[in-house]
Amino acid sequence: MRVLKTVEGVKRYLGQARRQQNAEDGVAVGLVPTMGNLHRGHLSLIERARLENSVVVVSIFVNPLQFGPQEDLARYPHTPEQDLRLCEQAGVDAVFMPTVTAFYGAAQPHSDAMTRVMPSKAMVAVLCGSHRPGHFEGVATVVTKLLSLVAPDRAYFGYKDAQQLAILKRLAHDLNLPSQLVGCPTVREASGLALSSRNSYLSEVERQQAAVIYRGLLAAQQCFQAGERLSSALTAAVAAELAQEPSLHPQYVELVHPETLQPLERVETLGMLAVAAHLGATRLIDNILLRDRQPIVAIDGPAGAGKSTVARQVAQRLNLLYLDSGAMYRAVTWLVLERGIDVQDEVAIAELVQDCEIRLEASGNDSAFAAYPSRIWLNGQEVTQAIRSTAVTAAVSAVSAQPTVREVLLRQQQQYGITGGVVMEGRDIGTQVFPQAELKVFLTASVGERARRRQRDLAAQEQPAVSLSDLEQAIDDRDRKDSSRRVSPLRQADDAIALNTDGLAIEDVVNKIVQLFESRVER
């Protein structure tokens, strides 16, 4: 593990790493920005980054720009030796630990001569922003600098700081920053208290008292699950629980949209209840997400595990929409061919795909579409049958491999997550597309089993015979490539249920997933 102290050192290290690693799909770099005093919450971010990237960089920097004059900059916990030990144990490749001067070029970077990044005023005006003037400007500045310096494929942040994550995602979108910002679940103590570096300020008694914050959020969640949707009632449920702990002094209890941070009077599809409170001299924050939509089923797994057939049948059994990502890529490919664009012209296709609006619907009982898992419209024109042509089949692989096409279709796929009611399969559905899915299943099968299935498929299609050993080698190579992809790597979500399909018929697998759904998911 390299410990780097300067901007130039980071540049040289990453330049060398990107040159030295021989990867067909490039070198994926993950960044975990921290202010040190690492705990299990930080380690969960590092673990996620380690799973998804070739190179993991952790920054440890107490950023003076995000502290107000009366805040705790001078006493913020500082544990560099422990932090480095934890990073090395977690498999971090490089830690960036600059001084203020090395990072900002001045020991006192509050000068008006310095360039600062101004986040959305509307997003800063609520929650913590109205109580900590200048805080999110400081956060936006330091994170923009880190993203510019490291140029990571992915940067990881905890959902505990949900306002920060929403602001940074908007910033990255507005400034066309290429890095993907990944939100990760809040890690909690046994009492429910969200882990935070500032928890080290609390005494053991105060730690137990602070747990009332999460209990308040859970009380509101119970009201929500019972049918309550009004902000006034949900925030009142939180406040009533907080009032049980006289040592706690709430600063705000608010309901906002988790992505836009706009205050909500009622939850329509998504809402976030957020709390800030003081316990002694320590300021604590926490939040909980409230969803009012149909459930989502995410099915992931390696090639040859039977995902597509299983997902289609599960969707039919549960009366949900099969979100046919393959049809979406075929629709874009069809339009590329219709416009006479070379399938290798990534620039032209990147411009074309920005104006593609795709809509999927279940095929229903219409006999004309019985052979198709779903019907699809592109810019208002139905293309369900047109996208199955041999020309589209021959070209879709080249088009679907292009990063811009994947990014645009990912955004459109995620729009279906707002209302839910979908089943989707792939490599990264439970980790990237729908990390909030109510049921995540990871279908597995041995290499030998998948090779035998492939051999049977080839025979049924009257294709030339291929030996089992050759098929096994090809599947093994495909697994390795899919797991190490720079974009959309194959990975089982932490909360996914693994289901080995060796020796099982399709109907058996479908039945097992339907049973899991019925036992675990409320509709």
Q: Which residue has the higher pLDDT, 457 or 330?
A: 330
The reply, when asked if residue 197 is annotated as ligand binding, is: yes
In angstroms, the CA 19 to CA 188 distance is 39
> Which of 390, 409, 267 is closest to 349 using CA atoms?
409
CA–CA gap between residue 469 and residue 490 (Å, rounded): 23
Q: Are 281 and 201 in contact (CB under 8 A)?
A: yes
The pair of structure tokens assigned to 143 is: 């994170």
Asked if residue 196 belongs to a known ligand binding site, the reply is yes
Supply the pTM of this predicted model: 0.85
**Average confidence score pLDDT of the chain:** 92
Query: Shortest CA distance to 412 belongs to which of 357, 484, 487?
Result: 357
Q: Which has the higher per-residue pLDDT, 20 or 352?
A: 352
CB 471 within 8 A of CB 14: no
Burial of 66 (0-12, 13-18, 19+ CB in 10 A): buried
Strand partners, 31: 57, 155
Q: Which residue has the higher pLDDT, 46 or 400?
A: 46
Q: Which residue has the tokens 């994170």?
A: 143
pLDDT-derived band at 23 (thresholds 50, 70, 90) equals low
The string of DSSP letters for 395-433 reads HHHHHHTSHHHHHHHHHHHHHHHHH--EEEEESSIIIII
Q: What phi and psi, each to the nearest 5 degrees, are found at residue 210?
A: -65, -20
d(CA 426, CA 396): 16
Over residues 341-359, the mean pLDDT reads 95
Amino acid at 379: N
Instruction: Confirm whether 249 is a catalytic residue.
Output: no
- 168: annotated binding-site residue? no
Check whether 313 has a pLDDT greater than 70. yes
Supply the pLDDT for residue 110: 72
Q: Is 37 annotated as a binding residue?
A: yes
The residue with greater pLDDT, 276 or 503, is 276
- The answer to the question of whether 41 is labelled as a binding residue is yes
**Residue 36 is labelled as binding a ligand:** yes
Report, in angstroms and rounded to the nearest whole number, the Rg of the chain calculated over CA atoms.
Answer: 25
Whether residue 164 is annotated as binding a ligand: the answer is: yes
Q: Consult the annotation and say whether 423 binds a ligand.
A: no
Task: State the DSSP string of 360-391.
Answer: EEE-TT-GGGTTSSEEEEETTEE-TTGGGSHH
Tell me: pLDDT of 40 over 90: yes
E strand map for 224-302: 248-256, 270-279, 282-291, 296-300
Is 40 labelled a binding residue?
yes
Pairing verdict, β 381-382 and 374-378: antiparallel
- Which pLDDT score, from 0 to 100, does residue 452 have? 87
Q: Find the catalytic residue in 42, 110, 131, 278.
A: 42
DSSP states of 296-353: EEEEE--TTS-HHHHHHHHHHHHT-EE--HHHHHHHHHHHHHHTT--TT-HHHHHHHH
Q: Tell me whether strands 422-426 and 321-322 are parallel, antiparallel or unpaired.
A: parallel
Alpha-carbon span 398 to 417, nearest angstrom? 27
Q: Would you say 160 is a known binding-site residue?
A: yes
129 in a labelled binding site: no
On whether 22 is known to bind a ligand per the annotation, the reply is no
CB 119 within 8 A of CB 164: no
Residues, the chain: 523
Burial 445-462 (b: 16+ CB within 10 A, else e): bebebbbbbbbeeeeeee
- pLDDT on residue 24: 53
- Indicate if the pLDDT at residue 259 is higher than 90: yes
419 CB neighbour count, 10 Å cutoff? 13
Beta bridge partners of 158: 184
Tokens in use for 286? 């926490």
Residues 45-52: contacts with CB under 8 Å, at least 24 apart = 45/156, 45/157, 45/158, 45/184, 46/87, 46/90, 46/91, 46/92, 46/156, 47/90, 48/156, 48/182, 48/184, 49/154, 49/156, 50/90, 50/91, 50/92, 51/491, 52/28, 52/154, 52/431, 52/489, 52/491
Q: How far is CA 232 from CA 168, 224, 298, in A?
A: 28, 12, 34
Is 39 known to sit in a ligand binding site?
yes
Look at 109-118, 328-337, 412-421, 498-507 and tell me which has the smallest mean pLDDT.
Answer: 109-118
Q: What is the mean pLDDT of residues 419-441?
A: 92
